[in-house]
């Protein structure tokens, strides 16, 4: 079995808010050079899900695929240190700077170039944009079924079975292979990279492609155009309600809340 896991390199979401600013004219977020890169957290859960299947199904190979402008090797090799087998990188500023569907086209073309696969896994959404639509776009372009927000994954014969959270509990569904699965953080704690895995990852040479190498790329044109990007204006209006005693203050506060129809 061959599983391809798509990952995204993002600025560390734990960095201070002051490290990010908005360039309204360019319609983009500017990240301070001091902010380190990391793998989007949901993609690490997707890697864990793929490795669980690898543990259960002998002969399974897990390939990692990432599309971006400039990859940091120590970052994108983290899934290899966890136990994945191969790394493919699409490094292209045009594709990486596109919208969700431009990225989906790039990933789908790269998956076709990698070769036959049984399953594609991806994080539920990226840590930077939180859109959660790239993976379903990839499934559409590949013509395979998609199952979203998996909190458990397992093989059931020749099919992939997942549990997903719904309003009143868990929903268990399955699909025949090939298929695409997005994974949520309720899957459970991902495994840690071992020293042996870290050393093995350092010996893996990634396969690096640009847009011109993607022979089956159908389109790199975005379907959406940013209209504006700005920080919401912050404002506060504090009204102090004081009485002659704590009890009087409470009475006056209750009257004020009733007047505002908050009680």
- Provide the pLDDT for residue 231: 84
List the structure tokens of 247: 């009890």
Total tally of structural domains belonging to the chain:
2
pLDDT average, residue stretch 95-101? 89
Same domain, yes or no: 156 and 84: yes
Q: Is the pLDDT of residue 263 over 80?
A: no
Are residues 146 and 241 both part of a single domain? no
Token duo for residue 35: 């902010």
DSSP one-letter string for 101-152: HHHHHHHHHHHHHH---SEEEEESS-TTT----HHHHHHHHHT--EEEEEEE
Q: Do 132 and 160 sit in the same domain of this protein?
A: yes
Residue 167: enclosing H or E segment and its boundaries? none
Q: Are 109 and 206 in the same domain?
A: yes
Residues 180 and 251 in one domain: no
Q: pLDDT category, 122, cuts 50, 70, 90?
A: very high
Residue 13 domain-assigned?
yes
Query: For 222-247, what is each residue's pLDDT tens digit?
Result: 888 889 988 888 888 888 888 889 99
CB neighbourhood size of 107 (10 A): 27
**pLDDT tier at 189, thresholds 50, 70, 90:** very high
Note whether 181 and 247 are same-domain residues: no
Asked if residue 48 and residue 140 are part of one domain, the reply reads yes
Q: What's 158's domain CATH number?
A: 3.40.50.620
Q: Averaged over 188-211, what is the pLDDT?
A: 94
| φ, ψ of residue 154 in degrees (nearest 5) | -165, 150
37 lies in some domain: yes
Spatial neighbors of 167 by CB under 8 A, at least 6 apart, are none
Residues 262 and 187 in one domain: no
**pLDDT tens, residue by residue, 14-39:** 899 889 898 998 888 889 999 999 99
């Amino acid at each position: 079995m061959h599983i391809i896991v798509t990952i995204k390199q993002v600025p560390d979401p734990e960095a201070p808010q002051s490290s990010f600013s908005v360039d309204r004219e360019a319609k983009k977020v500017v990240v301070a050079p001091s902010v380190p890169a990391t793998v989007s957290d949901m993609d690490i859960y997707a890697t864990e899900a793929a490795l669980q299947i690898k543990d259960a199904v002998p002969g399974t190979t897990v390939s990692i695929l990432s599309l971006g402008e400039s990859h940091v090797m120590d970052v994108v090799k983290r899934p290899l240190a966890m136990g994945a087998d191969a790394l493919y990188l699409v490094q292209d500023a045009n594709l990486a700077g596109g919208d969700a569907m431009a990225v989906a086209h790039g990933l789908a073309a790269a998956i076709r170039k990698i070769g036959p696969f049984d399953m594609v896994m991806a994080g539920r959404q990226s840590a930077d944009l939180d859109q959660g639509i790239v993976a379903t776009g990839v499934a559409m372009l590949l013509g395979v079924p998609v199952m979203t927000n998996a909190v458990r994954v397992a093989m059931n014969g020749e099919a992939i079975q997942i549990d997903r959270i719904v309003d009143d509990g868990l929903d268990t569904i399955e699909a025949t292979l090939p298929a695409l699965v997005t994974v949520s953080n309720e899957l459970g704690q991902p495994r840690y990279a071992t020293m042996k895995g870290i050393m093995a990852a350092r010996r893996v040479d990634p396969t690096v492609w640009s847009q011109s190498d993607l022979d089956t790329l159908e389109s790199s044109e975005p379907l959406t155009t940013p209209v504006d990007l700005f920080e919401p204006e912050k404002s506060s209006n504090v009204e102090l309600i004081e009485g002659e005693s704590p009890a009087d203050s409470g009475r006056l506060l209750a009257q004020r809340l009733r007047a505002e129809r908050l009680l």
